[in-house]
Amino acid sequence: MKTFEKFKLGDIQLNNRIVMAPLTRSRAINNVPNELMRKYYAQRATAGLIISEGTSPSPNGLGYARTPGAYSKVQIEGWRNVAEGVHENGGNIFVQLMHTGRVTSLLNLPEGSRVLAPSSITLEGEIYTDSKGFQPHDTPQEMTIADIKKVQDDYVNAAKQLVDAGVDGVELHAANGYLLEQFINPKTNVRTDEYGGDYKNRARFVPELAIRVADVIGSNKVGVRVSPYGVFNDMKGDYDDLVDIYTYMAEELGKLGIAYIHIVDQRVAMNAPDFTTNIKRTIKTVFEGNIIVGGDVDSISKSEKLLNEGYDLVYIGRPFISNPNLVEKLKNNQKLIDPNPDTFYTPGEVGYTDY
């Protein structure tokens, strides 16, 4: 079966074609990767590739309570420890770099931080904070050109330090309504400068950032995650130039020879509407590189179907939470344990490393 075939991704050898999808778990006390996180990821190292939970390249990008960063020495040492745990168990790990942009409360950011976004458009609804429970999202400041360059610098610095610390690569999170997608989507980007307006301008931030990161760590250590037609974090799921913008980004990223594009399908887990075009096939055709796809994959038959359609790797998310030996269970057709949603984001080992 293709699912269990070895696969060459850049300069690393994957033991199979299963990717553990990034899953926010909120166990990083004081935003520092810790020994509990090492155990969690090491338990799941039989995945061909682990993509870590969203990790902020700067204090401004933390977003949620107890999410890890990659901008201080102690955080980088924490990720070094995690990577060592994964490697000791024969696995590979990319750290997902995620700046949440407008998806935050100042209560979740270190003192002196700013809420930044392409445009000053507030996200409706509330976000959890450890200090005051659920609070409204803070209104972001529209980023200046200097802010944009600074955020890109933060990504580059984080990527370099992570790879120097032994992480196999980084994924740039341009999906799910966070900062990079806030530039892409016309609902959250109403700028009139070179980063706003037509689709090439709105797309500019992502390939520009990928080029800068690839220059420092190598293009074969860079992945990009996108979520076309996604509605999570109140994004506009469909718009007139959606196919144009994702086609253009795929072309530009294809020129770089990056490790992969990771396409999120929000239709099942996040109740997004059906796609109006076969955007995954469009991206695959134009990019001409490795594509990670998934969405509601909990059996070999589902992963085999995607691989037989010509995609390269298959991501699996929530089943990995409650089945650390998921690969073995799939291989042996064993029943999967359902995760407990009440412990998705709580601190401690319960519902995290005790399955």
The H or E element containing residue 136 is strand 133-136
The H or E element containing residue 260 is strand 260-263
Residue 154's SS3 state is helix
Tokens of 40: 């969690």
User: If we measure between CA atoms, which residue out of 98, 87, 67 comes closest to residue 223?
Assistant: 98
| Measured CA distances, 186 to 103, 198, 236, 283 (Å) | 16, 9, 8, 20
The runs of H, that is alpha helices, within 89-204 are 145-164, 179-184, 199-203
Contact yes or no for 107/138 (Cβ under 8 A): no
Residues designated as active site: 178
- Other beta carbons within 10 angstroms of residue 111's beta carbon come to 6
In a 13 Å sphere around the CA of 36, the CA atoms on its Cβ side amount to 16
Side chain identity at residue 273, one-letter code: P
In a 13 Å sphere around the CA of 22, the CA atoms on its Cβ side amount to 28
User: If we measure between CA atoms, which residue out of 35, 131, 52, 32 comes closest to residue 98?
Assistant: 52
User: If we measure between CA atoms, which residue out of 40, 63, 16 comes closest to residue 316?
Assistant: 16
User: What sign does the dihedral 140-141-143-147 (CA atoms) show?
Assistant: negative
